[in-house]
């Protein structure tokens, strides 16, 4: 890792999502040699600048995911046969016969003022559990199922936070973005480890080299439609729900994918508690600088910002702020995606209904049409 004062060649340590959160760093030398894990690109493929500040592991393992591209050059990816499948891989590994993968890295994505820890977890599957952007992995934590003595734990699903090539761009890893689920007794205010999330804590406590039981990949609803490379994609996330969108955006703006040259508009709305809770923020900000005509990025920080009524700023408030634009884009065929806690949807639906009525439209009819046109994509947990 590099400190804030250092700008040297750095091996990437990449982080992730699931229903329960990681970080990555990158760097360059003057000769434009870039190292990602054990892989390097030399000469003008990339020009990235890194500045990371490393904190103690528990407080915030890595408070940086610096990906400031100095040029529009993209990263070469392999193996390209991952582009040839006509259908997404589904349930290659099932709960009764999971794949044993290996933890590569676990990094904190958040700062010390974030209300809870979110980790980026890179998993080495050796190319054996391929997936597409927008799919999920299942994780079986160690131990016995408390409701079925003698049986393994149930599978927990986590949206994958990387492209099919993984954070090392070689098709051998997948990344998850995992929020550590911690339970505090409402009376004492103290943590009760016996009620903490089993799988999220297992993942966030993992060390490089640890083994993990994977199932999947699963899911088709959040697959990125690529038939039209100039389409508009509106992405609305709360917390770790940003995971699939990180995969989309890396595919659009970071990777050199021969058969997908994105020229449309990607618009990300991300809702979190405060600035320290932002996930992959430097990565997204770099796209904003490099592709201002193709990427928009709006943040709703509920504990730092106020909405028009003076209340807390949530993603639905941002949607209302840009509602005319969003509705025009939807009328023009834009895809809209929602990912995060299921509690996000009622507020968003109410806002969209209110906006539609203000425009003299029936939201129910509009929603039915969006679903019929396959423009509406929802994955909440």
**Binding region for NADP(+):** 159, 179, 240, 272, 302-303, 312, 314, 316, 339-341, 343, 379
Active site residue 379: yes
CB-based burial, 11-39: b 16+ in 10 Å, e otherwise: bbbbbbbbbbbbbbbbbbeeebebbbbeb
How far apart, in whole angstroms, are the C-alpha atoms of residue 47 and residue 68? 8
Task: Respond yes or no: is residue 204 known to be catalytic.
Answer: no
| Strand pairing report for 48-49 and 265-272 | unpaired
Q: Does the active-site annotation cover 119?
A: no
CA 201 distance to own-chain centroid: 18
Select which of 66, 159, 162, 206 is catalytic: 159
Cα–chain center distance at 85: 23
Q: How many CB atoms lie within 10 A of CB 73?
A: 15
Secondary structure (3-state) at 119: strand
- Residue 140's Cβ-side half-sphere holds a number of Cα atoms within 13 Å equal to 20
The residues facing 267 across adjacent strands are 234, 296
Task: Please tell me which residue in 93, 137, 158, 337 is annotated as part of the active site.
Answer: 158
Closest of 50, 77, 90, 78 to residue 66, by C-alpha: 50
> By three-state DSSP, how is residue 156 classified?
strand
131 is catalytic: no
| Whether residue 158 lies in the annotated active site | yes
Catalytic residue of the set 76, 226, 361, 381? 381
**Binding-site residues from annotation:** 156-159, 177, 179, 195, 198-200, 240, 272, 302-303, 312, 314, 316, 339-341, 343, 379
| Catalytic machinery residues | 158-159, 339, 379, 381
């Amino acid at each position: 890792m590099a400190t804030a004062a250092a700008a040297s060649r750095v091996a990437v340590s990449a982080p992730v999502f699931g229903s329960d959160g990681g970080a990555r760093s990158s760097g360059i030398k003057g000769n434009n040699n870039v190292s990602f894990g054990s892989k390097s690109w030399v000469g003008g493929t990339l020009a990235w600048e890194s500045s990371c500040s490393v904190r103690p592991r528990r407080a915030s393992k890595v408070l940086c995911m610096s990906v400031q591209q100095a040029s529009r050059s993209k990263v070469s990816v392999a193996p390209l046969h991952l582009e040839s499948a006509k259908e997404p891989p589904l349930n290659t590994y099932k709960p009764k016969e999971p794949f044993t993968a290996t933890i590569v890295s676990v990094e904190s994505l958040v700062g010390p003022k974030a209300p809870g820890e979110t980790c980026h977890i890179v998993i080495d599957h050796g190319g054996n559990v391929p997936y597409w952007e927008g799919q999920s992995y299942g994780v079986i934590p160690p131990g016995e199922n408390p409701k079925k003595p003698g049986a393994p734990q149930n599978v927990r699903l986590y949206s994958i936070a990387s492209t099919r090539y993984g954070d090392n761009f070689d098709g051998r890893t997948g990344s998850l973005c995992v929020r550590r689920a911690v339970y505090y007794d409402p009376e004492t205010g103290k943590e009760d480890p016996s009620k903490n999330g089993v799988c999220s804590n297992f993942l966030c406590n993992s060390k490089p080299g640890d083994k993990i039981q994977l199932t999947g990949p699963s899911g088709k609803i959040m697959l990125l439609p690529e038939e039209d490379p100039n389409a508009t994609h509106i992405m609305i996330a709360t917390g770790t729900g940003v995971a699939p969108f990180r995969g989309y955006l890396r595919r659009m703006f970071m990777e050199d994918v021969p058969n997908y040259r994105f020229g449309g508009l990607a618009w990300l709305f991300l809702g979190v508690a405060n600035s320290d809770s932002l996930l992959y923020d430097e990565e997204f900000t770099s796209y904003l600088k490099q592709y201002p005509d193709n990427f928009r990025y709006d943040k709703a920080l509920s504990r730092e910002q106020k909405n028009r009524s003076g209340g807390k700023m949530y993603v639905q408030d941002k949607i209302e702020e840009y509602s005319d634009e969003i509705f025009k884009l939807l009328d023009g065929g834009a895809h809209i995606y929602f990912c995060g806690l299921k509690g996000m949807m009622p507020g968003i639906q109410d806002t969209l209904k209110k906006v539609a009525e203000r425009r003299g439209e029936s939201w129910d009819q509009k929603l039915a049409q969006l679903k019929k046109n396959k423009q509406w994509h929802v994955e909440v947990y």
